[in-house]
Amino acid sequence: MNVLLIVLAIVAGVVALLLLAALFTRKEYQVTRDITISQPRQKVFDYIKYLRNQDNFSKWATMDPEMKKEYHGTDGTPGFVSAWDSNMKNVGKGEQEIIKITDGEQVDFSIHFIKPFEGLATAYMQTTAES
């Protein structure tokens, strides 16, 4: 009986420790990727501001070239939406909307994940000149 109480106390302690750690864990995270392209900044920006061009370099598009795509609005402008639907679990279903464009510098996006999990995220692509 004493062994059972000791085991239960250890399990309860581990669970309490995990719950305490969860209170102090950040709920948000950031992923950053950099790439150097030997082209003028404006030329690169004029390419990345179009969501349809992302199919040419997106990891998800290459994972499932057969995924269904839908577009709404004028590409390269705020309000344009690119939606995708894939039978592959790792690609899933969702939509990405251009929220804001700072010409020559940055494109801000809102991403709504629908499958395999529900979620919202913000993202941006930014161009900077290197000397």
Residue ranges of domains in the chain: 30-126
> What does pTM read for this prediction?
0.74
Question: What string of DSSP letters covers the chain?
Answer: -HHHHHHHHHHHHHHHHHHHHHHHS-S----------SS-HHHHHHHHT-GGGGGGT-HHHHH-TT-EEEEES-TTSTT-EEEEE-SSTTT-EEEEEEEEEETTTEEEEEEEEEESS-EEEEEEEE-----
- Residue 119, strand partner residues: 113
Confirm if 65 and 56 have CB atoms less than 8 A apart.
no
List per-residue pLDDT tens for the chain, 131 residues long: 677 778 777 888 887 777 777 777 776 767 777 888 889 999 999 999 999 998 888 888 888 888 999 999 999 999 999 999 999 888 899 999 999 999 999 999 999 999 988 999 999 999 998 87
Model pLDDT, residue 29: 65
